[in-house]
């Protein structure tokens, strides 16, 4: 999907299948579906008829900690146009196995880690950039019992619009009491005007979103850019997984011997990339490294038997990885309605 075809689609005012495109730094994400009448992705005041039908939060205990998956919304993505190391036919076949068409309603998940001492959040969703598809983090956070002011650490897996744009609303910090943690290589890459100057107008959007979301925190001296793996907060450590972006990072949380890893964009589409981890997506800055990191993460999760929390696996995006005849399989957690509290 190129910008020209988006503009053509917008011009045609088609009632159905009108594509909105969203930049995530390196490529366009094709958005179609119930909000087809939206004039353009820049329309931030768009009203949606796609109200959430389920609670946007899901909590469970991890040792002494409380983890809460918080939904930022869902966005329609046409995966038949985005995947590499494959064919559109294979993509359609893999999706059909899961009773899905090429356009998949894709979750945008964030995760609160309440240690009793700190309240951290992994990623911040899309903020204003996807209209009403995204930007539901704050309302769902409040419904889960947390105020944005309580968050004292934002842990960015990487600086792509659907992970970092929720840092701000109307240019103001959504998490005024938080330190924003991100890998130095991502901060240096996305906030360097020289890099932005090198790319075409289409790709510039990803850099602009990075600037808009992170700059208020930089000005307030609230960004902590790390450059090697280590423990950021008690029980929360970084695992460098560079590839999808130059500083993509996994966060590992451990309490009382129980472990979860928040894997960000090590995968985008459950129904394709567990079966074939070598299939990459246009959004990867370094595709071979992204594929290598995905495979290593899946193998490690199987060996370690720990939980995974993923940004784009259907909400709540919490589960385990299992091997399945040479491929991998996603095992979602068993649903729990019991109240989880911090010990």
Q: Which residues bind Zn ion (CB under 5 A)?
A: 160, 265
Give min distance, CB of 309 to Zn ion, in A. Answer: 15
- Locate the DSSP E strands across the chain: 20-23, 28-31, 57-62, 65-78, 83-84, 103-114, 119-122, 153-155, 168-169, 172-173, 179-183, 223-226, 231-233, 236-240, 249-255, 258-262, 280-281, 307-309, 318-324, 327-332
Give min distance, CB of 244 to Zn ion, in A. Answer: 6
Nearer to Zn ion, 94 or 263 (CB): 263
Nearer to Zn ion, 62 or 285 (CB): 285
Please state, in angstroms and rounded to a whole number, the distance separating the CA atoms of residues 162 and 137.
Answer: 11
Q: Which residue is nearest to Zn ion (CB)?
A: 160
Nearer to Zn ion, 144 or 155 (CB): 155
Give min distance, CB of 248 to Zn ion, in A. Answer: 8
Give min distance, CB of 5 to Zn ion, in A. Answer: 22
Nearer to Zn ion, 160 or 270 (CB): 160
Vertex 46: Cα angle to 174 and 167 (nearest 5): 15
Give min distance, CB of 158 to Zn ion, in A. Answer: 6
Q: DSSP letters of 75-141?
A: EEEEGGGTEESS-HHHHHHHHHHTT--SEEEEEEEEEEEE-SS-EEEE----TTTTGGGS--HHHHH
Nearer to Zn ion, 190 or 330 (CB): 190
Nearer to Zn ion, 114 or 123 (CB): 123
Query: Is residue 285 within 8 Å of 26, Cβ to Cβ?
Result: yes
Give min distance, CB of 340 to Zn ion, in A. Answer: 28
């Amino acid at each position: 999907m190129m910008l020209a075809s988006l503009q053509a689609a917008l011009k045609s005012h088609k009632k159905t299948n009108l594509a909105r495109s969203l930049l995530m730094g390196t490529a366009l994400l094709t958005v179609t579906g119930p909000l087809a009448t939206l004039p353009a992705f820049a329309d931030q005041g768009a009203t949606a008829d796609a109200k959430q039908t389920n609670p946007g939060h899901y909590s469970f205990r991890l040792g002494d900690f409380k983890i809460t998956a918080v939904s930022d919304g869902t966005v329609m993505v046409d995966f038949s146009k985005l995947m590499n190391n494959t064919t559109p036919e294979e993509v359609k076949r893999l999706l059909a196995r899961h009773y899905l068409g090429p356009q998949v309603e894709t979750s945008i998940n964030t995760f609160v880690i309440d240690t009793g001492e700190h309240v951290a959040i992994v990623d911040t969703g899309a903020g204003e950039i996807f209209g009403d598809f995204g930007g539901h983090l704050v309302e769902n956070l409040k419904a889960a019992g947390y105020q944005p002011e309580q968050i004292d650490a934002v842990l960015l897996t990487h600086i792509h619009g659907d992970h970092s744009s929720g840092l701000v609303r109307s240019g103001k910090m959504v998490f005024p009491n938080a330190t924003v943690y991100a890998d130095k290589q991502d901060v240096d890459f996305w906030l360097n005007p020289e890099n932005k100057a090198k790319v075409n107008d289409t790709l510039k959007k990803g850099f602009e979103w990075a600037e808009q979301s992170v700059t208020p925190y930089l000005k307030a001296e609230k960004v902590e850019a790390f450059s090697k793996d280590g423990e950021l907060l008690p029980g929360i450590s970084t695992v460098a997984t560079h590839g999808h972006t130059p500083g993509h990072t996994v966060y590992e949380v451990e309490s009382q011997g129980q472990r979860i890893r928040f894997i960000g964009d090590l995968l985008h589409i459950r129904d394709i990339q567990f079966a074939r981890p070598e299939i990459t997506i246009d959004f990867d800055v370094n595709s071979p490294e992204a594929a290598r990191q995905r495979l290593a993460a899946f193998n490690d999760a199987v060996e370690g038997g720990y939980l995974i929390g993923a940004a784009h696996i259907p909400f709540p995006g919490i589960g385990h990885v299992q091997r399945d005849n040479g491929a991998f399989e996603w095992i979602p957690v068993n649903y729990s309605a019991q109240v989880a509290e911090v010990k």
